[in-house]
Amino acid sequence: MLDERLEDLHRNRRPRSKNPCLEKVSREKDGETVELLAIRKRGSQSPPFEEAIGLLHTVVSNRQYTGPERYPLFDQLHREIGAWRILYLYPLQAMRLPQPPRDVDDISIPRPLPPSAG
């Protein structure tokens, strides 16, 4: 991921606090400017935890950042996304044969086509 931001907003879409719990920041390290993702705990005065840019996963998907006392917005976002209905279609079959919904183990591995019934 190249950029993530997570913050609590008022109804008028203004931020509730000046420091979002997740945002992209620039830091000086060894004379160079480096971009990082800053992850802040709720109510903590300590410096934010920092993750590198360009991870192969989102910071929000990391279950290390959970807990209503420390990261309530992460938990709230997990519940919101978990309530979404998502439909995965296997393109080689989806447009050709009528198929009832089924469980999907992994969408990145192609499954063999079932033998035709006719």
- Residue 78, φ and ψ in degrees, nearest 5: -60, -45
- The owner of tokens 């995965």 is 88
pLDDT tens for residues 20-66? Answer: 899 999 988 889 999 999 999 988 888 898 988 888 888 888 888 88
What residue segments make up the domains of the chain, in order of their start? 22-82
- Cα–chain center distance at 71: 14
**Cβ atoms 58, 1 nearer than 8 A:** yes
Q: Quick one: what percent of the chain has pLDDT higher than 90?
A: 16
Residue 8: pLDDT above 60? Answer: yes
Cα angle for residues 59, 63, 67 (degrees, 5° grid): 110
Report in angstroms the alpha-carbon separations of 84 from 52, 81, 103, 106. 28, 5, 16, 18
State residue 112's pLDDT score: 67
Tokens describing residue 88: 């995965």
pLDDT category at 117 given cuts 50, 70, 90 is low
State residue 4's pLDDT score: 81
